[in-house]
A and B are shown apart, each in its own frame.
Chain A
Amino acid sequence: MKVSGLLENKEFKCLNPQVGIEGVIKSGYVGDLLSWVMANAGNGCAWVTIQTHVNIIAVATLLEMTCVIIPEGAEVEESTLERAIIEDIPILTTGLNAYEVCKILGNAGI
């Protein structure tokens, strides 16, 4: 599934629509401890995290993630969005919680 496909679900909104959204989501990962995520998340994943500061973009870029999904309506810092635009990482936000996001990803075959 592509990021654009996920965005067809109205529960999700892309906060930086100027970036490419045709990246393929190969897997999913949930975690808020950045070192743990660095050690274990795969490339091409959709990463669900409640962390919203600019370092999530460094992690997403270094691991070549496809997108970052911020659950439960958490607000994302402007500096994070600016960096995400530079690095071409889509930031999605949703009112759903991490488990509900994973159910949707799982049902989509990810």
Chain B
Amino acid sequence: MSYELVFDVERGDFDTAGEASRKIKRTLQQLGISNKVIRKVSIAGYEGEMNLAIHSAGGKIILEVGEEELVLTIEDTGPGIANIDLAMTAGWSTAGDEVRQMGFGAGMGLPNMKNNADNFQISSKIGEGTKIVMKFLV
């Protein structure tokens, strides 16, 4: 990998959520990545960032830029997902009313990430955390 960016995202931080995704987008624009790929990474990154703010105890977004692919990793320190298959089902969400009123919690975050990434891996352990690794061909 020739380039790496790391962003911390705190739980409940809705006012600055989106900041990491914006910085990632700008970086990719400066690197001359195609608009099509930037859109995919932006959508997946923003969904990941919002998931950290809504559901996690806090976490990180890591962007690695390689010659042939971009790797976006979203990892947190808990609480973990009990049933990943259910969490991946469009429309299923554990988000509360307050978050839903803001237009989040539609149960589309993880499916949106998977749909936009060329490769999507998710692993999770209750009490430990969740890690999502997405790869995008450039």
Contact = CB atoms under 8 A, between A and B. Distances in A.
Interface of A: 32-39, 43, 49, 51, 53-55, 57-59, 61-63, 79, 87
B6 to A, nearest CB: 19
A102 B61 CA distance: 37
A38 B25 contact: no
Interface in B88-133: 102-104, 106, 108-109, 112, 115
A34 B108 CA distance: 9
A79 B108 CA distance: 26
28 contacts: A33-B106, A34-B102, A34-B104, A34-B106, A35-B47, A38-B46, A39-B43, A39-B108, A39-B115, A49-B103, A51-B102, A53-B14, A54-B18, A55-B14, A55-B102, A55-B104, A57-B18, A58-B22, A58-B46, A59-B46, A61-B22, A62-B18, A62-B21, A62-B39, A62-B43, A63-B39, A63-B42, A79-B15
Given A53-B14, A58-B19, A59-B46, 19 more contacts: A33-B108, A34-B103, A35-B47, A35-B104, A37-B103, A38-B43, A38-B46, A39-B108, A39-B115, A55-B17, A55-B18, A57-B18, A58-B17, A61-B25, A62-B39, A62-B43, A62-B46, A63-B39, A63-B42
A62 B22 contact: yes
- 7 closest Cβ pairs, A-B complex: A58-B18, A35-B108, A62-B42, A34-B103, A33-B106, A51-B103, A35-B106
Nearest to B100: A33
B52 to A, nearest CB: 14
A33 B103 contact: yes
Interface of B: 14-15, 17-19, 21-22, 25, 35, 39, 42-43, 46-47, 50, 102-104, 106, 108-109, 112, 115
Contacts of B103: 32-34, 37, 49, 51, 55
> Chain B: interface secondary structure?
helix
Contacts of B15: 54, 79
Which residue, of B18, B21, B42, B47, has the highest number of chain A Cβ atoms within 10 A?
A: B18
Nearest to A61: B22
A5 to B, nearest CB: 25
A54 B102 CA distance: 10
